[in-house]
Structure 1
Amino acid sequence: MNLAAAATNESLASISNMLIYSAMAVYTLAFLAHLAEWAFGSRSKVGRTAAALTATAPAPAKAPAARTAEQGGGTAVLERPKVVTRAANGKRDVPDGPGAAGGTEKGDLYGRIAISLTTLAFLIHLGGVLTRGLSVQRAPWGNMYEFSTTFGMVAVAAYLILLALRKNVRWIGLLLTATVLLDLGVAVTWLYTESSQLVPALHSYWLWIHVSCAIISGAFLYLGAVSTLLYLFRDRYESKLADPNGKQPGAFATSVMERLPAAASLDKFSYRVNATIFPLWTFTIIAGAIWAGEAWGRYWGWDSKEIWSFVTWVAYAAYLHARATVGWKGRKAAYLGLFAFLTYIFNYYVVNYFFSGLHSYSGI
């Protein structure tokens, strides 16, 4: 049978579109719930006394959680254990913030609602991706629209997996849901492509291997980039607290920044994520070269997509090397890490839009 001429199941394709739009609606509710979580948490006793806790002597590494009452009221407050961490610059000890989950009971309730809605949105999103693939009996990442929808789904899956492993990552939820909404909005507005069969060159088992690895790598690199960005804000906040003669952070900045882990914890998280996923990105490039050898008769031809994939690899290799060098820890390495992720985004959007080459299968 000629795969290029294979029929498309329009019913499943329509269901896929409906599920993607439904997922966007639920992600919107999850985003609003995360906003409520942070808003109510910022009014808590934890938020108002955070600057004092950070500037004074470190609390014990392990402390039992307890419930106290607001002064002048009966609102219950969740007191979280303070985990003391050596700051990224190595000059001071600061306690981890409680994460977005800290704060009043109402704030924590909204947080749990946000996670439940995010999980529901993910399941609907997963259904949309699967039905898209089933509609044409192939991998559901053959063009930019499908790559984008799958990328967002995998990013949410990575977040939920980390939560299931009891990692303190609820602070990612607000930015994650906002980013996934943006990703899906761009996909359905500008990148949408009707469900159809692919060009013959893409009918290969390497489509399942090479592109899926690229999506998984990008999703985890995104989580590392979010952590790196928040590290820069948190590190600046801690520097202000450590300078008694400088301008101290305002109440709003304090309430927001103290929802986050310490700068050193954010820095360590981003490094571990990037270091863990870097071998998979390396394999992605190798798999692409092997596929190119089978499809085009050469392993490497300096195609625009190949060049920028290699640029991304070099940028992350430089970042990891910088982290292993004492003089490049902290903010310098963070800037390099963000640059590396921007090369990944450039490779996806700009190269696919404005560069021509053998990889021009974006479908737009």
Structure 2
Amino acid sequence: MQMPVNETLSQYSDWSYTTSVVVYLLAMISFLVEQSFGKHGTRAAERSRARQLVGVGAGAGSDSGDTTSDVAEGTSTGRAPRTRTERIGRMGVALTILAAALHLAALVLRGLATSRVPWGNMYEYIMAITFVGVVTWLVLLRKYPLRHLSAFVLLPVVILMFVGGTMLYAVAAPLQPALQSYWLVIHVAAAAASSGVFLIPGAASILYLIRSAHDRDPVKFGRFAPKLPSADILDKVAYRTTVFAFPVFTFGILCGAVWAEAAWGRFWGWDPKETVAFVAWVVYAAYLHSRATAGWRGTRAAVINIVGFAVTVFNLFFVNLVSAGLHSYAGVG
């Protein structure tokens, strides 16, 4: 017997979801400000620091305690004083963490309201994969100097969550009978986790192509590309996140095959969603194989990664919403 839906918790979940989208949007604006004006702000800080140091040198023989104390504030830690744009960027990180906490609350409350895992339809599935994508990005921010690129990661997150919360919104309800299986927890969780992580290498590979094109021809993307991290860093981010997500994606496909055998009496039936998921798996496998054996670390590898990302997005939307197949009733799988 299924538990009744707790409408109060469901309402709180919807409010948390909507609020998280708004906070993500504010964070994205903060990152765009840093991306647009950060370099100019850094240069201004360097000029200001140079003037301060000159002032210290000029007044070395006089009583200039005030000037020395001003410089000490910025140099005692060995770092230049934070600029206004840097503070805005750090505020964007804080807003992203707050939005992620609200995002997690929306997921948990949805699960508590329905007494099941919160990924039983497209709305909930998008909520899950975007949360995984944001958490993955926050982890990467601790390792790589990528903060000013956060707007390019939050943009697809905000778009996906807006679409999910409007056109794909589903009222909290018990699972359909066909989905009442423990494999929903395992298979869909693995698919959501890998799809969320795949958001990161997709964005990183696109930015890699922009940066590498600028490195070959400085005229291309003249104002935008110089503010990106080096092509080497973007390539590492794309590769390492793909290496992490690919085994999880493989595990999800294998679990789906086992669930299909239990539910439909066959491990594989070339259902549209199964087929496109297999195509995505082949593309990502080709990406990893080409890097490991042929040493593809440049544009060709980035293009393959972008193709894999495009197939994943195609599988998420077109196959779930347009094509007819055994997965159509669920919107996930």
Q: Same fold (TM over 0.5)?
A: yes
Q: Does 1:332 align with 2:300?
A: yes
Match of 1:24 in 2: 21
After superposition, give the CA deviation of every residue in 1:209-241 in whole Å (9 maximum; x if it has no partner).
Answer: 111111111111110111100000000111124
Match runs of 1:258-269 below 5 Å: 258-269=226-237
Equivalent in 12, 26, 33 of residue 9 of structure 2 = 12
Equivalent-residue separation in structure 2 for 1:330 and 1:363 (angstroms): 36
Equivalent-residue separation in structure 1 for 2:290 and 2:310 (angstroms): 17
Comparing 110-119 with 37-46, greater Cα deviation is found at 37-46
Q: Does 1:128 align with 2:106?
A: yes
Equivalent-residue separation in structure 2 for 1:68 and 1:31 (angstroms): 26
Match of 2:124 in 1: 146
CA contact (8 A) 2:31 2:148 kept: no
After superposition, give the CA deviation of every residue in 1:153-172 in whole Å (9 maximum; x if it has no partner).
Answer: 111111112234x3333143
Give the CA deviation at 1:73. 7.6
Match of 1:213 in 2: 190
Amino acid at match of 1:117: L
Q: 2:8 aligns to what SS in structure 1?
A: helix
Give the CA deviation at 1:141. 0.5
Cα–Cα, structure 1 residues 280 and 327, in superposed 2: closer, same or farther, change >3 Å?
closer
After superposition, give the CA deviation of every residue in 1:268-296 in whole Å (9 maximum; x if it has no partner).
Answer: 22112112221111111001111111222
CA contact (8 A) 1:17 1:128 kept: yes
Q: Which structure 1 segments of 5+ residues have no match?
A: 49-66, 75-101, 242-247
Match of 1:163 in 2: 141
Equivalent-residue separation in structure 2 for 1:43 and 1:216 (angstroms): 38
Cα–Cα, structure 1 residues 103 and 184, in superposed 2: closer, same or farther, change >3 Å?
farther
Give the CA deviation at 1:263. 0.8
- Equivalenced residue count is 305
Amino acid at match of 1:290: V
After superposition, give the CA deviation of every residue in 1:129-179 in whole Å (9 maximum; x if it has no partner).
Answer: 111111111010111010011111111111112234x33331431112222
Q: 2:46 aligns to what SS in structure 1?
A: strand
Match of 2:290 in 1: 322
Equivalent-residue separation in structure 1 for 2:243 and 2:148 (angstroms): 21
Q: Does 1:357 align with 2:325?
A: yes
CA contact (8 A) 2:24 2:99 kept: yes
CA contact (8 A) 1:232 1:331 kept: yes
Equivalent-residue separation in structure 1 for 2:81 and 2:194 (angstroms): 34
Match runs of 1:184-263 below 5 Å: 184-241=161-218, 248=219, 253-254=222-223, 256-263=224-231
Higher-helix-fraction structure: 2
Q: Does 1:277 align with 2:255?
A: no
CA contact (8 A) 2:35 2:149 kept: no
CA contact (8 A) 2:32 2:148 kept: no
CA contact (8 A) 2:35 2:148 kept: no
Cα RMSD over matched residues?
2.3
Amino acid at match of 2:30: A
Following TM superposition, the consecutive aligned residue runs of length 4 or more in structure 1 with deviations greater than 4 angstroms are: 70-74
Equivalent in 253, 261, 278 of residue 293 of structure 1 = 261
CA contact (8 A) 1:40 1:106 kept: no
Give aligned-pair identity as a percent.
38
Higher-strand-fraction structure: 1
Equivalent-residue separation in structure 1 for 2:197 and 2:149 (angstroms): 12
Give the CA deviation at 1:325. 4.2
Equivalent in 306, 309, 313 of residue 341 of structure 1 = 309
Match of 1:77 in 2: none
Q: Which structure 2 segments of 5+ residues have no match?
A: 53-79
